[in-house]
Structure 1
Amino acid sequence: MPRKAARLIGVSLLGLAGVLVIVAAAGLGVRAYRQHLAAETLAIRSPNGVQEGAYVDIGGIKQWIQIRGEDRDNPVLLFVHGGPGGSTLPISSGWRPWEKHFTVVQWDQRGAGRTYGAAGDALAPTMTLERMTQDGIELVEYLRNHLHKDKIVLVGHSWGSFLGIHIVKQRPDLFYAYVGTGQVVGRVTFEKSFELAITHLQELAQSASNSEALAELAPIVARPQITPQNRLVADKWSKSLGLPSIESFQLAGPVPPPFMPDFSLLDWYNWRKGMTFSAKYLRGREGPMFKRDVAALGLAFPIPVVFIEGDADYNTPSGPAEQLFNQIIAPHKEFVRVRGGGHFIPFDRPDEFLAELVAYVRPLVPN
């Protein structure tokens, strides 16, 4: 190649690199500005309010918690996130109205988000349901002392409902009430979810007149068991026929996740890594949600129990949760059905979820 041509190519590549640097810098600048505006939108300015984020020593490691509310005298609501590993910090701007009624605590569990970022893969030997249950108890003890409360309310979502119900069963004395949403019962939850997915796939295949899909799905429809072979068939046609995924929902809130304040690109990296890491130890056929049933913990609860369930939740269908609820013995219990609600009603319908909390949960906390 002639030197002149090589020189031109080199100059062109340098120019392209320069353009890319400028574009990246501009993008980061826009993001920083949007985060600044978001911080103003979400700021707690009331004189008795609380807005904190910090690592706390829980279970022998540093675990991240965030505490927000307009009035410290309000009840404390601990939200136990799902996933496993699905920290809710970047997707919770729709909860700003909740903070008028509750002091809302978010917790990056062992193996999730910033907690994963602080410890990394060294957490692997400790990723057990038993250890994380004790983490939750230690966290609540910390919150009681830090916020000067006798008891708190626990809201568990999806995996967090499975973990949360273990926490309250071990130490009911720490809680005014337990609230489950997207409640996981155990294996039966995922068997029902699989059955609904197969039925939906059959409907999609019929609409598309896909004879091959109908033929492969027919024996599974007749007997929708979760086996490795049946999963392969379901995964194949889920992609081909466009079955909506678990992520198919629209967040509601004033701040899009990429612009949440005080959430860096490194935080996003650890958020995604934590999801993968936690799933390795807590999800799947060998994970505790599939191998254990919460009914085995006992059906008697000495505290009020509230289930807030979407009737269009195909990931953790409300049927098994309602069957469990009907067997629960508690001083007070409510099963609240959200019409048309999916798996993520705290996030895509936060105002409606808050209305249910105010109507059914807030009265359970003494003034």
Structure 2
Amino acid sequence: MPRRAARLIGVSLLGLSGILVVLAAAGLGFRAYRQHLAAQTLAIRSPAGVQEGEFIEIGGIKQWIQIRGEDRDNPVLLFVHGGPGGSTLPISSGWRPWEEHFTVVQWDQRGTGRTFGAAGDALAPTMTLERMTQDGIELAEYLRAHLHKDKIVLVGHSWGSFLGIRMAKQRPDLFSAYVGTGQVVGRATFEKAFELTIARLQRLAAAATNKEALAELAPIASQPVLTPENRLIADKWSNVLGLPLADDFQLAGPIPPLFMPDVSLLDLYNWRKGAAFSAKYLTGRNGPMFQSDTASLGFEFSIPMFFIEGDADAVTPGGPAEQFFNLITAPHKEFVWVRGGDHFIPFDRPDQFLAELVARIRPFASH
């Protein structure tokens, strides 16, 4: 009897394994089919267009870039992603219309996506604001030569704005304009975000008639300083009260990350792992975004400066960015509020963001 039971169990497990193999194969086949359709949707078919993806040598390591556009004569736009470690390659299908007006360059920064996958944890000693700023400058120099442009448009989002504004300050000769969105100016950005978080938690606690939460949050609300102790209390009540995640946003692009062409499952793994790796060295109370201040760069810029900010951004609230912007001098500058816009307006409002780029920045862009 035990032998017969063992045989039955063995047959059952073998059958289950077979079913799982068939399901996995079907899933992978469906994904490959969807990626094929996505590739057709996103293909650049113009004879004057460009569609490239490759590793290039930057800062002593191989870093991945993607270049796409309908017309090589268009201005080049370098998008410096946020996170840090937040590669935009899997989530950029909504930018297809951008490529009619710009040659769009995306870059997996040091510690990000494919660049992280190629080098791994060995990058740890080099994960500094200074080294990554120099990486961005070297990339801009490469793009000028490779795409035969005098200058390029520089767009920085979130962490990328903290990095990008330093690139613009150090080498203005490379750029025709700087665009910051979700602009980080340092500690003041995150102090303001924490203040807004506490206010949102108080509203949730009041709606739930949670007296314990209101009692613990009240002294912080009176002086919303971002200390480790205050952060722990905020995290506690965020979980209890169900505060929506700040990064819970809806992409406007037609293609989900899982089905983006030329993005493998390994790429998606490195995307997630690289984001955690980069955060370890670049964020938190000891990271450069908290410890460094954009004001230390000075307020004089020699290229046109644009900030495009969502007035509902709870991650990097626009108030500190506007205060900084009001102090700077530049040949031309414009601050644009996007009403109802959150932290991710290039992704969840790509058409509106493009309209601002075309109307305000493209006239200054080098062709």
**Shorter-normalised TM range:** over 0.9
What amino acid does structure 2 have at the position aligned with 1:189?
T
State yes or no: 1:211 paired with 2:211.
Answer: yes
Match of 2:9 in 1: 9
Task: Please give the root-mean-square deviation of Cα atoms over the aligned residues, in Å.
Answer: 0.7
| Alpha-carbon shift at residue 254 of structure 1 (Å) | 1.5
The whole-number CA distance in structure 1 between the counterparts of 2:350 and 2:5 is 60
Listed one character per residue, the Cα deviations across residues 143-194 of structure 1 (whole Å, up to 9, x for unaligned) are 0000000000000000000000111110001000000000000000000000
Mapping for residues 129-208 of structure 1, pairs under 5 Å: 129-208=129-208
Match of 2:358 in 1: 358
Q: Deviations over 1:202-223 (max 9, x none)?
A: 0000001011111111111111
Q: 2:277 aligned with 1:281, yes or no?
A: no
For 1:322, the equivalent position in structure 2 comes to: 322
- For the 8 Å contact 2:151–2:366, the answer to whether it is kept is no
Q: Which residue of 1 aligns with 2:103?
A: 103
Which has the larger displacement, 244-253 or 262-271?
Answer: 244-253
Structure 1: which amino acid aligns with 2:188? V
Counterpart residue type for residue 266 of structure 1: L
- The superposition leaves residues 280-320 of structure 1 with CA deviations (integer Å, 9 ceiling, x where unpaired) of 00000000000011111010000000000000000000000
State the one-letter code of the partner of 2:276: T
Partner Cα separation in structure 1 for residue 49 and residue 246 of structure 2: 35
SS in 2 for 1:273: helix
- Report the alpha carbon displacement of residue 246 of structure 1 after superposing the two structures with TM: 2.1
2:231 alignment partner in structure 1: 231
5+ unaligned residues in a row in structure 2: which ranges?
Answer: none
Q: Which residue of 1 aligns with 2:222?
A: 222
CA–CA distance in 2 between the matches of 1:320 and 1:243?
A: 23
Residue identity opposite 1:48 in structure 2: A
| Cα separation, 2, equivalents of 1:248 and 1:13 | 39
Counterpart of 2:8, as a letter, is L
TM-score by structure 2 length?
A: 0.99
Query: Which residue pairs with 2:254 in the alignment?
Result: 254
Secondary structure of 1:62's aligned partner: strand
Q: 2:266 maps to what in 1? A: 266
Per the TM alignment, residue 238 of structure 1 is displaced from its structure 2 partner at its CA by: 0.6
Looking at structure 2, the residues matched to 214 and 340 of structure 1 have their Cα atoms a distance apart, in angstroms, of: 28
Aligned twin of 2:58? 58
Rounded to whole Å, the distance in 2 between the matches of 1:128 and 1:221 is 33
Q: Please give the residue correspondences for 1:112-131 in structure 2 after superposition, counting only pairs within 5 Å.
A: 112-131=112-131
Query: Matched residues in 2 for 1:276 and 1:253: separation?
Result: 24
Q: Secondary structure at the match of 2:64?
A: strand
Deviation at 1:366, TM superposition (A): 4.6
Query: Alpha-carbon deviation of 1:242?
Result: 1.2
Match of 2:185, as an amino acid? V
Partners in 2 of 1:363 and 1:179 — Cα distance? 13
Q: In structure 1, what residue type is equivalent to 2:95? A: W
Give me the whole-angstrom Cα distance separating, in 2, the residues matched to 1:240 and 1:223.
Answer: 22
Q: Is the 8 A contact 2:78 2:154 kept in 1?
A: yes
> 1:133 is matched by which residue type in structure 2?
T
Deviations, residues 35-57 of structure 1 (Å, cap 9, x unaligned):
00000000000010000000000
Query: In the TM superposition, what is the alpha-carbon distance from 1:253 to its structure 2 partner?
Result: 1.0
1:21 aligns with 2:24: no
Which letter does structure 1 place at the counterpart of 2:336?
V
Distance verdict in 2 for CA 1:152–1:366, change over 3 Å:
closer
What is the CA deviation profile of residues 84-130 of structure 1, one whole-angstrom value per residue up to 9, with x for unaligned ones? 00000000000000000000000000000000000000000100001
Matched-pair contact (CA < 8 Å) for 2:150–2:366: no
2:152–2:366: 8 Å Cα contact kept in structure 1?
Answer: no
Amino acid at match of 1:278: S
**Partner residue, 1:43:** 43
Residues of 1 paired with 2:14 and 2:222: CA distance? 62
Q: Secondary structure at the match of 1:285?
A: coil
Q: Distance in 2 between matches of 1:94 and 1:366?
A: 24
Distance 2:211 2:350 in 1: 41
**TM value normalised by structure 1:** 0.99
CA contact (8 A) 2:309 2:336 kept: yes
| Mapped partners of 1:242, 1:183: distance in 2 | 27
8 Å CA contact 2:322–2:335 kept in 1: the answer is yes
SS of structure 1 residue aligned to 2:334: strand
Superposed structure 1 runs of 4+ greater than 3 Å apart: none
Residue of structure 2 in register with 1:304 after alignment: 304
What aligned pairs does 1:325-336 form with structure 2 within 5 A after superposition?
325-336=325-336
CA distance in 1, matches of 2:260, 2:365: 31
The amino acid that maps onto 2:20 is L
* Structure 2 residue matching 1:163: 3-state secondary structure: helix
Q: Distance in 2 between matches of 1:104 and 1:366?
A: 14
Amino acid across the alignment from 1:93: S
d(CA) in 2 for partners of 1:251, 1:23: 28
Give the alignment of 1:331-346 within 5 angstroms: 331-346=331-346
Aligned-residue identity in percent: 79
Letter in 2 for 1:90: P
